[in-house]
Amino acid sequence: MKSAVEKLNPTRVKMTVEVTSEELAPHVDAALKTIGSQIQVPGFRAGKVPSRIIEQRVGKAAVLQEAVNEALPEFFGQAVEAEELKPLGQPEVEITSLPLEDGEQLEFTVEVDVRPEVTLPDYDGLAVTVDPVTVSDEDVEARMTELRERFGTLTGVDRAVEDGDFVSIDLRAEIDGQEIDAVEGISYEVGSGTMLEGMDAALVGLSKGESADFTSPLAGGDQAGQDASCTVTVQSVKVRELPEVDDDFAQMASEFDTAEELRADVAKQAEQAKKFEQGIQARDKVLETLLEQVQIDLPESIVEGEVHQHLEQEGRLEDDEHRAEVDESTRKALTSQFLLDAIVEAEQVEVGQPELVEYLVMQAQQYGMDPNQFAQLIDQQGQVQAMVGEVGRRKALAAVLDKASITDTDGNAIDLDELVPDAEGESDESLESQAPEVTEDDSASTETQAPEAEATQEQDAPKA
């Protein structure tokens, strides 16, 4: 087999492949068997029809077409390997010559997008500046309030709904007079913004038994993104009463005996959280600095495909302003992906099974799924390699971060090792586990959905 590559642009190539009749012969034999098992010829049992009779019945061209369709993925893969290409997306194949006569050969061309070449900047000792760690009394009090809220109790009140109340509501949505969905007795914290857009404003001021109408884009389902006429009815109004911070509360909510000990620990947690935020800022700034120093050509068909799919899922294909926003975020996401992939290669990053399992568990928690069920879903959707790639990129960014020179605006050097969880497991997070996704989604949906395949999957098998 011979192959040659013509570079059409920095991210697209045209490959010409020539396959001898001898190399195609096994596939022709397989095609004859397949066709022979599907046709009936008087005087012959099924599957026992001679090859020359099959060719007479269906024509040699039909046999060759069957053989080529089955053989193309194999020959394409061999050519890709021989030419050391890294294809992306769906190849466009054209058969230019079929070996209809003895001595002739199969010839075909393939146009396909390829991974762009990336020239990495020198990132050893990359310098970034971050905000200093400052923990205020308000920060400590906010964390203490979060702890108190976990042990709070809900008490019914006879008044109109206010921001921050907990309500039990009935909710109905319809489009053009047709009911789309209806639920009853669901609990909701007013002001949390976790349900339909505009519902918080509609709820404030309602009393038990009262209803309000509002219009909101649907968050999920077949009509996701379409405006629906919604009606919300208040069934009950409750407020959360928080316990006092005293010794009894400290003993109930923690391993400490006194409120003073509890408050000191909460202050320590607040400081650790600020340090972690500082590390996240450092990580983000390192990535931004790298992106500023590289120029990566993007495959336009991949960009357009991602943008179209995103807008189609949202039902906003005609929204030009939103299209521009999605196009910008997609380009940044793909640039980040190609950059980090190049660092993976340069740093010879490998992904072990424990790291993959850790990432899988983390993602399962994000989607509110059982890790085993999530793993099965990932496998069924063929996303295992995409997940391996994502973990590799996170490790690559962590490797760059480890080499970076990080100081705060006060001139203090930052030791990111302080963010590593201690033996008592004060934190279950790490900078690597919190590395930014290289694919972005600014969808307004509030529903939990299964993850979709990564933006730039490796090439699909070509077909004639």
Cβ pair 111, 8 in contact under 8 A: yes
Local confidence band at 421 (pLDDT 50, 70, 90 cut-offs):
very low
Q: Do 90 and 177 belong to one domain?
A: no
Same structural domain for residues 329 and 287?
yes
**Same domain? 233 vs 295:** no
CATH number at residue 410: 1.10.3120.10
- Mean per-residue pLDDT, 317-335: 94
Q: Output the average pLDDT for the chain.
A: 87
Looking at residue 20, which CATH number applies to its domain? 3.30.70.1050
Looking at the 3D structure of the chain, how many domains does it have?
3
SS3 labels along 21-85: HHHHHHHHHHHHHHHHCCCCCCCCCCCCCCHHHHHHHHCHHHHHHHHHHHHHHHHHHHHHHHHCC
Indicate whether 263 and 358 sit together in one domain.
yes
263 and 182 part of one domain: no
Average pLDDT over residues 202-212: 96
Which domain, by its residues, includes 192? 153-241
- Give residue-wise pLDDT tens across range 150-169: 999 999 999 999 999 999 99
Q: For residue 210, is it within any domain?
A: yes
Rounded Cα–Cα distance for residues 106 and 92 (Å): 17
Same domain, 213 and 351: no
Q: Does one domain contain both 344 and 412? A: yes
220 with 295, same domain? no
pLDDT grade for 324, boundaries at 50, 70 and 90? very high
The answer, yes or no, to whether residue 279 has pLDDT greater than 50, is yes
Please count the CA atoms within 13 angstroms of the CA of 450 that sit on its side-chain side.
Answer: 13
Q: Is residue 67 part of a domain?
A: yes
Q: Between β-strands 405-408 and 127-130, what pairing exists: parallel, antiparallel or unpaired?
A: parallel
Asked whether residue 452 is domain-assigned, the answer is no
Lowest mean pLDDT among 50-59, 241-250, 449-458: 449-458
Looking at the fold, whether 265 and 381 belong to one and the same domain comes out as yes
CATH of the domain at 226: 3.10.50.40
Same domain, 370 and 285: yes
State yes or no: pLDDT of 259 exceeds 80: yes
pTM of the model: 0.72
DSSP 8-state code for residue 8: E
Answer yes or no: is 89 within a domain: yes
Q: Does residue 47 or residue 250 have the better pLDDT?
A: 250
Question: Same structural domain for residues 221 and 320?
Answer: no
pLDDT of 94 reads: 95
Alpha helices in 117-246 (DSSP H): 137-150, 199-203
**Main-chain phi, psi angles of 274, to 5 degrees:** -65, -40
Domain membership of residue 94 (yes or no) is yes
Looking at the fold, whether 272 and 408 belong to one and the same domain comes out as yes
